[in-house]
Amino acid sequence: MPLVACPVCEKQVSKRALSCPGCGEPDPARYHSRNTWLSRLFWLLVWIGIGAAVWYKVIPLVMDIFKQ
């Protein structure tokens, strides 16, 4: 039975445990997968924002330079 460290209290908990017996953290094995998903979503939104800024600010400036 594989064990993982609880993200809150750092005790070893079974991957199948529904909550940590030490601190009560719900589903301690999925804690890191939730954080990974949120982190990827955050960085995707950051890159979309950078792309939009480049598209609306930099591309028109470059096009004006080449038109002259």
Q: What is the pLDDT of residue 31?
A: 65
Predicted confidence at residue 20, as pLDDT, reads: 87
Q: How far apart are CA 65 and CA 51, in angstroms?
A: 20
Give 8-62 pLDDT, tens digit per residue. Answer: 888 898 888 888 888 888 877 776 666 677 888 999 999 999 999 999 988 888 8
- How far CA 40 is from CA of 6, 33, 34, 36, 52, in Å, comes to 22, 11, 10, 6, 18
pTM of the entire structure?
Answer: 0.46
Residue ranges per structural domain of the chain: 3-67
pLDDT at residue 46, rounded to an integer = 97
